[in-house]
Structure 1
Amino acid sequence: MFKCRLVIRAYAIHRKSWYEAEEDCISWGGHLASISDEQENSFVRGILRAESAWIGVNDVQVENVFVNSDQTLVSYKNFQDGEPDNSNHNENCVTIGSSGKWADAFCLVTKPFVCKR
């Protein structure tokens, strides 16, 4: 079975908002990382340091309808217990933590980020 090579680039030093991070990923030829299965989730978790980082998952357009930054629907989810909670009704972008669990967050907070192409 043939599988495309996954190319991931993690930006642990550069902290950007979700939107700025997506722009950087596009300039690299990719998008913020979409995560399609547990194996990819584990891989991304393994390259992170102690803090959370932006991935491409968001519900900016329709609340609780999660899409990737390339506009594909999210088929795999790994939210931590109690998430997504849309705290203060403004958490529409998703982070992955060093545990591999996801949480929604305010998109304008600056964080490290993970690109995929």
Structure 2
Amino acid sequence: MYCASVFSLVWIFINGNSAGEKTFQANGSEGDFETSKATCSQAGGLLASPRNSAENTAIHQIVVRHNKKAFIGINDIQTEGTFKYLSGEAIRYSNWAAGEPNNGGGTEDCVEIYPDGRWNDRSCNEKRLIICEF
């Protein structure tokens, strides 16, 4: 058991980033929004949901490392234009790219983070890097 714990800590240190009390991790796998949420839940975490600049930066660094856009745990599925965390709480921090959110095509209810750290609303059916928070 000790070896597994040490291995887990090493894996987190190598592949994860921390901000405050949270650790963010990705193993390179991708999924749509629902798959991403389920994957993080099965691992004992949540889909990464930045609540401040430091957390956004930690997630951004993982996106850059993998060179892939990633979904974050924010959406406006319930009410168009009202973005909330998975808990249902309204977002207080945001980092939208210029002109976003724009609900392009009327089907963009989920939020992805670009390699520059900015956010874009995107169709929930796209496949993106899965980043979980613990």
Of structures 1 and 2, the one scoring higher in RCO (CA 8 A, sep 6+) is: 1
After TM superposition, the structure 1 stretch with the greater mean CA deviation from structure 2, 102-111 or 26-35, is 26-35
Provide the identity percentage. Answer: 29
Structure 2 unpaired stretches of 5+? 1-18
Kindly provide the CA deviation profile for residues 41-63 of structure 1, in whole angstroms up to 9, marking residues without a partner as x. Answer: 11111111322111101000001
Count of residues in Structure 1 that have an aligned counterpart in Structure 2: 114
1:16-27 aligned within 5 A: 16-27=31-42
> Partner letter of residue 37 of structure 1?
N
**Counterpart of 1:60 in 2: which secondary structure?**
coil
1:73 aligned residue (67, 87, 90):
90
* 1:5 lines up with 2:53 in the alignment: no
Q: Give the number of the structure whose residues are more often strand, by fraction.
A: 1
Structure 1 runs of 4+ aligned residues shifted over 4 Å read none
Q: Give the number of the structure whose residues are more often helix, by fraction.
A: 2
Task: Return the alpha-carbon distance in structure 2 between the equivalents of residues 26 and 70 of structure 1.
Answer: 13
Q: Which has the larger radius of gyration?
A: 2
Aligned-pair RMSD on alpha carbons? Answer: 1.5
Task: Return the alpha-carbon distance in structure 2 between the equivalents of residues 4 and 88 of structure 1.
Answer: 37
Offset of 1:4 from its aligned partner?
5.9
Task: Return the alpha-carbon distance in structure 2 between the equivalents of residues 33 and 73 of structure 1.
Answer: 15
TM-score w.r.t. structure 1 length? 0.90
2:114 aligned residue (56, 78, 97):
97
Structure 1 unpaired stretches of 5+? none
Task: Return the alpha-carbon distance in structure 2 between the equivalents of residues 103 and 8 of structure 1.
Answer: 20
